[in-house]
Amino acid sequence: MTKMRAVDAAVQVLLKEGITAAFGVPGAAINPLYSAMMQAGGIDHILARHVEGASHMAEGYTRAKPGNIGVCIGTSGPGGTDMITALYSATSDSIPLLCITGQAPRARLYKEDFQCVDIESIAKPVAKMAVTVREPGLVPRVLQKAFHVMRSGRPGPVLIDLPFDVQVAEIEFDPDTYEPLPVYQPTASVRQMEKVMELLAKSAKPVIVAGGGVLKADASAELVKFAEITGIPVIPTLMGWGAIPDDHPLMIGRIGIQSSHRYANISFLESDFVLGIGNRWANRHTGTVDKYTKGRTVVHIDIEPTQIGRVFNPDYGVASDAKAALEILVALAEVHKDKLPDYSAWAKACYDRKRDPALQRKTHFNNTPMKPQRVYEEMNRAFGKDVVYVTTIGLAQIAANQMLNVYKPRHWINSAQAGPLGWTMPAALGVVKACPEADVVAISGDYDFEFLIEELAVGAQFNLPYVHVLLNNSYLGLIRQAQRAFNMDYCVQLSFENINAPEIGQYGVDHKAVVEGLGCKAIRVFKPEELAAAFAEAQDLKKQYKVPVVVECILERVTNISMGGELDAVTEFEETGSTWDDAPTSIGALERGR
């Protein structure tokens, strides 16, 4: 046993658990931990400009690679409260994330000391575990438990709060013999998966709904193999996008009331069996539950037992890690394939529908100001199959879901349930830190872009290059579209005449000037025919200067993006001249080739 400060033991645990990078903002209450990191070495620290930014960087870092755990470090009080949004985002999407905060000395707790807040109580509702460590000897063991909790079962975030006197207290600890705790994952039995196959064999038109749990379990290969053996079409959720390549003949699109394809909604509504793996039946995926489940047998496999039956009660449920379940399903399918119906005609019908021009949304517009659809069309051309997209919320994200293509696991990185504005930029920086060779492209509307714009300076300072596509309509576009239900357009316009940038008219903020002032590169595009050259130039600038490069696309002010309240009642907005009008389109009309 060796005598050392509790924070020195903490850093040794971090290193033993595989942590090599951290994001944060130092301060008085957490300086002891920083001193321990400096002395030990081995953890590369990225200094953020805002603690919320640091926490989203850590999120991006986790999401980018299997096995990664992002670490965010901040000082007491507001440093901790700044992390709450990331804890909520990580909990919602089952992301392991370690937040460490400094705290006032134990004697000052609950006495309204400077920047002393009960962060443990604040964090508990949005974290898998949150604790203020009150005994120095517990510091390494609480961290050991934290890693076990983050990795076991449904992954999630942890917050550990360290009072100043606890950090600097001397304890005995032997780092040489430290071992991480074994990770617990529920595993399906063969009998359970035989039951799934028995139910499947009774269906004529089955589909697989692949959720984010497939990616977290690193089970994309098993998913594709099972689909190919059985011939069952696959529908990835928003979090599962990339589990099967977009151009695979069994990938039939994504369903839902926003981030979806109309051909996929039609196919799903024809199905009679749904095998959900690693998904949570999110409302934007299902629409109303009654319509989603009517006439279908539903099987749900998820790592979290209490997820099964939370939204609706499936016909059969199994608590299991996605990879463990799929490995058994693959083995059973290989042995008993002859006992399954031939689904080839059903799969071909779904694939043909996917290729039907009448069911594609138009993207090739030559309008100036540009329509966002054309931007995504050019992005599909400009960025290859290895691109990693990062985005969070709004019309920019929803349209991207409908029009972009993703071909590999973890190449679509999205805060799906929480969708906090400002998430995209720091998350992209975290992705670049995790995968420095990756071709990372972020997508933001102007409001999301402005929320944490100062984090671009982090990309410049630490050479974290990526391309950020900024779709600027000078509007809170999704809220404006939602306000149509109230016949209003109220408090959602971002436009004003910038006296220092007359060239952008009423588009308000001179993003190009701000981006360049933060040490990055920017290109502004007004015409659709300029997009291809701008994307190529951005890639060149990124490689040359090794900083983020922003491509700002000046869009028409108002564009409505397809969405609705039900899978068979998504409102399509068809072009009529230079404006967009409502054209509610039924599934029946679409099937007639409207």
Q: Which tens digits make up the pLDDT trace of 259-295?
A: 899 999 999 999 999 999 999 999 889 999 999 999 9
> pLDDT averaged over the chain?
93
Asked if 19 and 46 count as a contact pair (C-beta separation under 8 A), the reply is no
pLDDT band (50, 70, 90) for residue 25: very high
pLDDT grade for 586, boundaries at 50, 70 and 90: very low
Share of the chain above pLDDT 70, in %: 96
State the pLDDT at residue 465.
Answer: 98
> Which of 130-134, 201-205, 439-443, 562-566 is the least confident region?
562-566
What per-residue confidence (pLDDT) applies to 256? 94
Q: Is 476 a catalytic residue?
A: yes
pLDDT of residue 578: 37
User: Is 25 considered catalytic here?
Assistant: yes
Same domain, 219 and 91: no
Q: What is the mean pLDDT of residues 312-334?
A: 97
Note whether residue 183 is domain-resident.
Answer: no
Which residues, 6+ apart, have CB-to-CB distance to 271 below 8 Å?
205, 206, 207, 296
pLDDT of residue 539: 97
Q: Is position 340 annotated as part of the catalytic site? A: no
Say what the pLDDT of residue 575 is. Answer: 56
Confidence of residue 97 (pLDDT cuts 50, 70, 90): very high
Catalytic residue among 229, 479, 514, 587: 479
Q: Is residue 580 part of a domain?
A: no
The pLDDT, as a whole number, for residue 112 is: 81
> 9: closest CA among 181, 182, 167?
167
The better pLDDT of the pair 114, 319 is held by 319
Comparing 46-55, 80-89, 140-149, 351-360, the range with the smallest average pLDDT is 351-360
Which residues span the domain enclosing 393? 372-554
Number of structural domains (the chain) is 3
Could you tell me if residue 577 is inside a domain? Answer: no
- 317 & 424 share domain: no
Q: Which of 19, 33, 46, 51 is catalytic?
A: 51
Which member of 126, 476, 518, 550 is catalytic? 476
Helix (H) or strand (E) holding 100: strand 97-103
Catalytic residue, candidates 330, 421, 440, 555? 421
pLDDT at 588 over 60: no
Q: What's the CATH code of the domain at 471? A: 3.40.50.970
pLDDT of residue 116: 80
Q: Are residue 394 and residue 444 in the same domain, yes or no?
A: yes
Verify that 66 and 212 share a domain, yes or no: no
d(C-alpha 283, C-alpha 71), whole Å:
30
Please give, one letter per residue, the 3-state secondary structure of 203-251: CCCEEEEECHHHHHCCCHHHHHHHHHHHCCCEEECCCCCCCCCCCCCCE
Q: Per the residue annotation, which of 25, 303, 471, 547 is the catalytic one?
A: 25
* CATH code of residue 195: 3.40.50.1220
